[in-house]
Amino acid sequence: MTTLQPRAVLVTRPSELDELLGRHGTRGQVEFFLKTRGRSIADLDAAHDRLADAVHTVTAAIPGAWRRAAVLRDDLPAFAFSPEDVVIVVGQDGLVANVAKYLAGQPVFGVNPDPGVNPGLLVPLLPAQAATLLTGKPTFRQLTMAAAVTDDGQQLTALNEIYLGNAGHQSARYALGGFEHPVRQSSSGLIAATGTGATGWAASIVRERHSPLPLPRPEDRALAWFAREPWPGPGLDADTSEGLITDRLVVTCHSDELVLFADGIERDRIAVHWGQDVTISCADQHLQLAQAG
């Protein structure tokens, strides 16, 4: 029997220069646009070249016998990943979060083309390091992911956080299950963050409200949940506003419609209607993220 060779899947997004060229049409128009905002096209040229160099470095290191594919961020929902894929993400940290929910345990190499700009939490590898590790024996971190499942079987997963709330600026009404007394709330929405997401949106909430809640680490099988700006109205609980999910949190929709989305991708969302339950927990899948050593 012939063993199927791995497929290297390169995930990128257009550089800022490419995006502006697509919007304005010509380099001259882009340069004029940037000058009106006190920016120089030279900075965009340099960042574009760093991204191109990183892509070239990792692409050249892919073994010749491997199959290859490439996908842009906006095309991820329509791309079919395979179990034997090796996923190489070249770009910002958020690009790893974008791709994570479409995977099922495939190894991910996060490559940072611009370490002076990107924090590198999810793209910890420099291009040369990734090139070496592709044919070596890398170590992987098993990062916990979050899952939200509606009572009619719809599901989404997140590497950073899940949001449940109103699609606009109105209040979200819901009830939280699993407490000694009914917890009915009207708030700006509820988020559930993984340990990876705890460095982002959740960290801002904790800092703003001076919360003593211990946030999970990226590998911990726990989520931190927060009710954003709960209103202390009649029959509403504004005190039960945060906690840890080590098993599950069941939320019952008390609005005509709320939306669920993951990692800030609002266009990939689930509508939840009055009386529906949403169960939030740690996902069965993990993100396998390669480390430098």
Are both 133 and 70 inside the same structural domain? yes
Are both 167 and 231 inside the same structural domain? yes
- Which tokens hold the place of 154? 């719809």
- Domains contained in the chain, number: 2
How crowded is residue 187: how many other Cβ atoms within 10 Å of its Cβ? Answer: 21
Task: Indicate the residue among 108, 137, 166 that finishes a domain.
Answer: 137
Are both 78 and 206 inside the same structural domain? no
227 domain-assigned? yes
CA 7 vs. chain centroid, Å, equals 23
Are both 84 and 159 inside the same structural domain? no
**Taken in order 252, 254, 255, 256, is the CA torsion positive or negative?**
positive
Are both 74 and 168 inside the same structural domain? no
Task: Indicate the residue among 83, 110, 137 that finishes a domain.
Answer: 137
290 domain-assigned? no
Give the pLDDT score at 135: 84
User: Which pTM does this prediction carry?
Assistant: 0.88
242 domain-assigned? yes
Give the pLDDT score at 1: 47
1 domain-assigned? no
Are both 116 and 174 inside the same structural domain? no
2 domain-assigned? no
Which residues form the domain of 75? 7-137
**Residues 137 and 275 sit within 8 Å (Cβ to Cβ):** no
Q: Which residues of the chain have pLDDT under 70?
A: 1-2, 293
Task: Indicate the residue among 90, 109, 137 that finishes a domain.
Answer: 137
